[in-house]
Chain A
Amino acid sequence: MSEPLLEVDRLGVEFVTRHGDLRALDGVSFSMAQGEILGLVGESGAGKSLTGRAIIGLIDQPGRICGGTITFEGRRIDNLRSADLRKLRGKRIGTIFQDPLTSLDPLQRIGDQLVETIRAHLPLNAAQAREKAIALLGEVGLPAAADRMRAWPHEFSGGMRQRVVIALALACDPSLLIADEPTTALDVSVQAQIIALLRRLARAHNASVLLVTHDMGVIAEAADRVAVMYAGRVVEIGPVADVIARPWHPYSRGLMGSIPSLREEVDRLTQIPGAMPRIGARPEGCAYAPRCPKAEPRCRMAAPPMIEAGPRAAACIVEPAP
């Protein structure tokens, strides 16, 4: 295997509060290959969005990276100065957020937002940037792209706005796209279209995608591999088909209990009894132990390390590799 595009190694993120430092991410590790689509799943609060934000260096105050490394295109980016990080954002790493209705500046025309992004990173003049913007709008499937340049965000439906957001994310041909729940806020009827578009464009631009979602159906449909997060850690990672068919970590097994298809009502992954511990209230040892049917006394001693088995890995000391 060639050098990975992105390598996240034991990443820690903490929020500095009056009641002490809260570890939101506690040793997140995974890597992504060039052109790969990696799904990131897990319950609400597991740290999926935070992982994406840490990569682009946009963690909300008062959070900060407190350990580990992020290596992207062969260089460390977790300790870059903000000016250098800005050059990566939008240029080498594109981002798509959950809610297209609020992602676009309501007071700026679609075309201007595209041209602005393109010109922030590429040495193009206004006319060239405009041409590129029109081409991008065409590529994401907006009919009559040239006429749409002058449109305002509020004139578009949610699905169309998400297409514009995708065009913005792809504007400078990034090698990595971070898509944080790109379809959660959309109508069920357009979710599948957007996922298909994202997949097609990522392939066409040879971009990798870190696809954050609650929806195992989306993962099954779009991702090559999947990483399962629980309480600030990756607890299992492997090829989608393997993880879905034969989940290794007991938590993954709980998740895969029922996989809704894209066209069904989105399942909110609530079938596992109990709740994920809040940050600051995580137990010693395996954080899943209080809910785990397989838990043994030794699970509560120390946090289980990732155990590798071929293309798969999981952080469980009880369950044997499948």
Chain B
Amino acid sequence: MLHYVLKRIGGAILVLVVVALIAFVLFRFVGDPINQMVGQDVSVADRERLRQMLGLDDSIVVQLARFLWNALHFDFGVSYQFKEKVTTLVAARFPATFELSLAASIFAIVVGIPVGAYTGIRPKALMSRAFMALSLIGVSLPTFLIGILLIYVFAVRLQWLPSYGRGETVQIGFWRTGFLTKSGLAALVMPSITLGLFQLTLIARLVRAEMLEVMRADFIRFARARGLSERAVNFRHALKNTLVPVVTIIGLQIGSIVAFSIITETVFQWPGMGLLFITSVQNADIPVMAAYLMMVAIIFVTINLTVDLLYLAIDPRIRLGSAQA
């Protein structure tokens, strides 16, 4: 079991190093950062001085080592467009993205699992058929369209919810949260639905498929033959046995929620990392792009690690650390 955990942690570190390398390549070889930082009229001598100051004239190996060392401290230097430390920029935007992704994930999981379980237990019920039809739409509509539709209905027509921004926020230490004010929560509703809807349908469909599969298993038949209640059969035995694949997918999907938040943040002008990333792409602001890349990688890796550890909690067969894992 310790072996299993160590192996997963080792894998996670390896992934981060590879991503850091990619970020470095991006940093070093995409365009000339000096051109991005200074105007046309700056002399060649001044450019060289700047180049030396930034260490851009050192050998590749030295630059790589310095980059990795800095990346380890999450230091990506200064943003070309804002002339501010990238760390400060990202730290200011991170809470917005985190809270949005969290709300979207909770929405997707808390609605998706029960809906999937219900449609799996009663595949022929009217509600189940209705959901299956609706979910097809949910999967095929692009995110920005859903966002724009929601804005049109609830912000423009009904005027129930704000159409952009985070509403009022409260600063707690380094963290700026929108969870504590009414307008902050109201502002969160539409972006989280927009961001989580695709994952909701995916989770629900997966849970449904797994439930249908598990319901045919011998141990479910045997649980019935033991005279257990429907409730015990459906939830204690069937649903629990769908959890390993479901947790895997949820983990992956939370990762893509963070990644897809770029679109949602753009539609709702949500002041998070995604919006920052979009502007940095427009301005070839490579330090910010590299930092974003690392940030998303860290989030992915953390989620994957959590999923692997959750397996241990759910399925005793993995705890053996044998071939079954």
Contacts and interface: CB of A to CB of B under 8 A. Distances in A.
B228 interface: yes
Nearest to A118: B226
Contacts of A74: none
Interface in B268-325: 314-317, 320, 324
Nearest to B220: A105
Contacts of B317: 106, 152, 154
A24 B16 CA distance: 60
A234 interface: no
A104 interface: yes
Interface residues of A, number: 27
A89 interface: yes
A58 B227 contact: no
A154 B316 contact: yes
B227 A91 contact: yes
Interface in B204-230: 217-219, 221-229
B316 A152 contact: yes
B8 interface: no
Contacts of B227: 86-91, 117, 120-121
Nearest to B322: A154
A108 interface: yes
Contact of A105 (B223, B229, B314, B324): B223
A27 B2 CA distance: 60
Given A107-B315, A108-B237, A154-B316, A102 B225 contact: no
A116 interface: yes
Contacts, number: 74
Given A106-B241, A107-B240, A97 B226 contact: no
A35 B320 CA distance: 43
B232 interface: yes
B68 to A, nearest CB: 42
Interface bracket on B: 20 to 34
A158 to B, nearest CB: 13
B222 A95 contact: yes
A285 B36 CA distance: 93
B218 A120 contact: no
A120 B224 CA distance: 11
A240 interface: no
A224 interface: no
Contacts of A189: none
Contact of B224 (A89, A104, A154, A165): A89
Interface in B136-178: none
B226 A168 contact: yes
A87 B222 CA distance: 15
A58 B223 contact: no
A193 interface: no
Given A105-B237, A152-B317, A120 B229 contact: yes
26 contacts: A86-B228, A87-B227, A89-B224, A90-B225, A90-B227, A90-B228, A95-B222, A97-B221, A102-B218, A103-B219, A104-B222, A105-B237, A106-B317, A107-B241, A117-B227, A117-B228, A120-B227, A120-B228, A120-B229, A120-B232, A152-B316, A154-B317, A154-B320, A154-B324, A168-B222, A168-B226
Interface of B: 217-219, 221-229, 232, 236-237, 240-241, 314-317, 320, 324
Given A95-B222, A97-B225, A154-B324, 7 more contacts: A86-B227, A90-B225, A103-B218, A104-B219, A106-B241, A106-B316, A154-B316
